[in-house]
A and B are shown apart, each in its own frame.
Chain A
């Protein structure tokens, strides 16, 4: 009873140590790993995320806009928008260059949409990994 519970992780280092890593990892897919000198891992992550994004664009995938409605619509459109936003700079570049694609039925466009969302989700995984390296929980 009196024994202290074991602390699973060391305390977090100051924000200034990991916040820049997180921002770079978000804006440039794989960038957090390059910043932390994990070049090979950064190259694999960057390649997979950017290729997935480019394939999605070339299949004319739909970029989600936040939209409400019934629960399922809200989850899909807000979730899709969050995943698209997670891609970072490539997402903003599509906005700046005026990429538009209609939300229409068809397996090619539908797969394109999935690739764009997947690229964002991959980047979230890469960001978490970079953060874990930056705070010393991983090598």
Chain B
């Protein structure tokens, strides 16, 4: 079985896994972990969309 995702789906999965792991290992309380995970996922999303737009505008 072979799986093929789009660029967007792939980066989204990687962002999700990375922020969950970073959230769990970085902070000391569950609330801090949740907030850190959500914040880093937000930053990942902002970077994905920002770089996406940058590449789109750079290639016009």
- Of all chain B residues, the one with the shortest Cβ separation from A107 is B7
**A59 near B: Cβ within 8 Å?**
yes
Say whether B4 contacts A59, CB under 8 Å. yes
- Among candidates A114, A128, A138, residue contacting B28 with C-beta atoms closer than 8 Å: A138
Contacts of B4 in A (CB 8 A): 59, 108
Contacts of A44 in B (CB 8 A): 20-21, 24
Task: Indicate the member of B3, B5, B20, B21 with the most A CB atoms within 10 Å.
Answer: B21
Chain B, range 1-57, C-beta contacts under 8 Å to A: 1-5, 7, 10, 13-14, 17-18, 20-22, 24-25, 28
Chain A, range 11-68, C-beta contacts under 8 Å to B: 41, 44-45, 48-49, 51-52, 55, 58-60
Chain A: minimal CB distance from B5 (Å):
7
- Grouping DSSP codes into helix (H, G, I), strand (E, B) and loop, the A interface class, with mixed when no group exceeds half, is helix
Contacts of B22 in A (CB 8 A): 125
Say whether B17 contacts A48, CB under 8 Å. yes
Chain B: minimal CB distance from A63 (Å):
16
A114 to B4, CA, bound (A): 14
Chain A, range 122-139, C-beta contacts under 8 Å to B: 122, 125-126, 128-129, 138-139
Q: Can you give 15 A-B contacts (C-beta < 8 A)?
A: A44-B21, A44-B24, A45-B25, A48-B17, A48-B21, A58-B2, A59-B2, A59-B4, A114-B14, A122-B17, A122-B18, A122-B21, A125-B21, A129-B25, A138-B28
Q: Which residues of B approach A to under 8 Å, CB–CB?
A: 1-5, 7, 10, 13-14, 17-18, 20-22, 24-25, 28
Q: Which residues of A approach B to under 8 Å, CB–CB?
A: 41, 44-45, 48-49, 51-52, 55, 58-60, 107-108, 111, 114-115, 118, 122, 125-126, 128-129, 138-139
